[in-house]
């Protein structure tokens, strides 16, 4: 029997989880990543949101524990605070403070770089998963009729070298920077219809030393109150290692500044935020991001280059999204129905 191979484009959280799931169903899985992956929990250019806070929601942590047994304990032992959402979270809404109470809803507060690094180590330890780094995918390989995807063509960063890698399945996990529409156009297909929503939400994050007299919460949320004329909000997270991660956000283009004076001035305009005086010793500078949402509407039938309708060998929902996490669970549930629906040797692009 011929070896079954899969290629995952992008070593994001989505890419790592996709590779983990696919490793159960393919003989060989290759993760193609444009960055040179760090040997430790370090921020890399391909994951700018890593500078902002990441809290694991309950179902997400349960799924990660299923994929990587012992991960929750490893995170806790590494210093990532494990907290009870209803007891350890102070949440101010337009209706006032939400009452705190004990519950069994527990997860970890963690820095994105720590989580991604630990998951990447576990994925790379799987014998049938390999990583190709420093590679830019520049297009899809296809059969002579452009009806079947057979792999990807990549360039090696810093060189003129071009490589071709074949596979039975190609999974695009490059997020909002996905070039899938361009790749499809190069094969003669119309690009998927896109819906773009500009939310005009922006936020900035700074790391501060945790005060010695810090309150007893692990997380503080203060919602923006646009109806009352204040589109600003804030969140403070105890991320362990003696640090607070402080994020300020604004709606309708009311973006927080990243310089020290501007950051503090913005914080002072947020109702109920009583601790700006504590923010005197930033351990790291501010980083900002703007949020938007873009998704491609994809189906399993598209127009072929010859103008006829046919079953697409590589398109299944969903191609593009600014949110990368949470993709592995539906991928796992889709097997065996979707991953085995095509004939042997037919590649698909997810």
Q: Is position 16 within any domain?
A: yes
Could you list the beta-strand ranges (E) of the chain: 5-9, 28-33, 53-55, 82-84, 89-93, 96-97, 106-111, 129-133, 135-142, 149-156, 162-166, 169-172, 193-209, 219-222, 232-240, 243-250, 282-297, 301-303, 309-311
**CA separation, residue 36 to residues 10, 101, 132, 136, 158 (Å):** 12, 45, 9, 11, 12
pLDDT for the residue numbered 299: 33
pTM given for the model: 0.78
Task: Please tell me the predicted confidence (pLDDT) of residue 307.
Answer: 41
Q: Are residues 211 and 286 in the same domain?
A: yes
Residue 347 DSSP class? B
Tell me, yes or no, whether 175 and 289 share the same domain: no
Q: Determine, yes or no, domain membership for 52.
A: no
Question: Is residue 170 located within the same domain as residue 149?
Answer: yes
The predicted structure's pLDDT at residue 346: 32
The HSE-up count of residue 312 (CA atoms within 13 Å, CB side) is 21
Residues with Cβ within 8 Å of residue 309, at least 6 apart in sequence: 301, 302, 303
Instruction: Classify residue 105: in a domain, yes or no.
Output: yes
CA angle 104, 211, 250 (to 5 degrees): 75
| Whether residues 213 and 276 fall in one domain | yes
> Both 288 and 147 in a single domain?
no
- Tokens 């896109």 correspond to 194
pLDDT of residue 156: 96
- Is 264 inside a domain boundary? yes
- Whether residues 140 and 220 share a domain: the answer is no
The maximal CA–CA distance of the chain, rounded, in angstroms, is 70
Does the residue 156 lie in any domain?
Answer: yes
**Full pLDDT tens readout for the chain, 350 residues:** 789 999 999 999 999 999 999 999 999 999 999 999 988 878 777 776 777 777 788 999 999 999 999 999 999 998 888 999 999 999 998 888 899 999 989 998 888 888 999 999 999 999 999 999 999 999 999 999 988 999 999 999 999 999 999 999 999 999 888 998 899 899 998 877 778 888 888 889 988 888 888 888 999 999 888 767 789 999 999 888 888 889 999 998 899 998 888 988 998 888 777 655 565 555 555 555 555 444 444 332 333 344 433 333 343 323 333 444 444 444 444 433 333 333 333 333 33
Please work out, in degrees rounded to the nearest 5, the angle formed at the alpha carbon of residue 314 by the alpha carbons of 310 and 319.
115
Q: What is the pLDDT of residue 337?
A: 33
pLDDT of 349: 37
90 lies in the same domain as 203: yes
Whether 211 and 330 map to the same domain: the answer is: no
For residues 210 and 283, membership in a common domain is answered with yes
Evaluate whether residue 121 is within a structural domain.
Answer: no
Where residue 27 sits, what CATH number does that domain have?
3.50.50
What is the total count of domains within the chain? 2
- Are both 205 and 105 inside the same structural domain? yes
Tell me the H-state helices in the chain.
13-22, 58-67, 71-77, 85-88, 112-124, 180-186, 260-268, 328-334
210 in the same domain as 283: yes
**Does residue 257 share a domain with residue 204?**
yes
CATH number for the domain that contains residue 255: 3.30.9.30
Query: Which range marks the domain in which residue 10 is found?
Result: 5-34+134-192+298-334
Residue 62, in any domain of the structure: no
> Residue 287: what pLDDT?
56
Counted residue by residue, the chain has a size of: 350
- Residue 187 CB-density burial (10 A; 0-12 exposed, 13-18 middle, 19+ buried): middle
59 in any annotated domain: no
């Amino acid at each position: 029997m011929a070896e079954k191979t899969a290629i995952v484009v992008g070593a994001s959280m989505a890419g790592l989880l996709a590779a983990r799931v696919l490793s159960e169903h393919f003989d060989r899985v290759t993760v193609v990543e444009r960055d040179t992956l760090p040997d430790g929990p370090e921020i890399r250019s391909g994951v700018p949101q890593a500078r902002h806070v990441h809290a694991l929601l309950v179902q997400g942590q349960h799924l990660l524990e299923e994929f990587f047994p012992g991960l929750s304990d490893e995170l806790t032992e590494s210093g990532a605070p494990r907290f009870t959402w209803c007891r350890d979270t102070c949440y101010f809404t337009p209706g006032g403070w939400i009452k705190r109470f004990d519950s069994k809803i527990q997860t970890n507060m963690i820095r994105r770089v720590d989580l991604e690094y630990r998951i990447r180590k576990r994925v790379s330890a799987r014998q049938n998963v390999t990583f190709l780094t420093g590679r830019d995918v520049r297009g899809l390989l296809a059969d002579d009729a452009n009806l079947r995807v057979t792999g990807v063509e990549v360039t090696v960063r810093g060189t003129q070298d071009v490589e071709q890698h074949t596979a039975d399945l190609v999974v695009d996990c490059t997020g909002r920077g996905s070039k899938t529409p361009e790749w499809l156009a190069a094969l003669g297909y119309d690009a998927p219809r896109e819906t773009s929503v500009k939310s005009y939400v922006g936020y900035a994050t700074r790391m501060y030393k945790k005060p010695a007299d810090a309150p007893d919460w692990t997380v503080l949320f203060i919602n923006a109150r646009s109806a009352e004329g204040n589109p600003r909000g804030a969140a403070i997270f105890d991320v362990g290692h003696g640090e607070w991660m402080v994020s300020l956000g604004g709606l309708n283009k009311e973006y927080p500044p990243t310089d020290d004076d501007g950051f503090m001035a913005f914080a002072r305009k947020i109702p109920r935020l009583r601790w700006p005086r504590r923010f005197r010793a930033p351990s790291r500078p501010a980083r900002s991001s703007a949020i938007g949402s873009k998704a491609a509407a994809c189906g399993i039938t598209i127009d072929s280059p010859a103008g006829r309708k046919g079953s697409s060998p590589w398109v299944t929902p969903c191609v593009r999204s600014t949110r990368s996490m949470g993709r592995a669970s539906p991928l796992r549930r889709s097997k065996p129905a979707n991953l085995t629906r095509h004939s042997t040797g037919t590649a698909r692009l997810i």
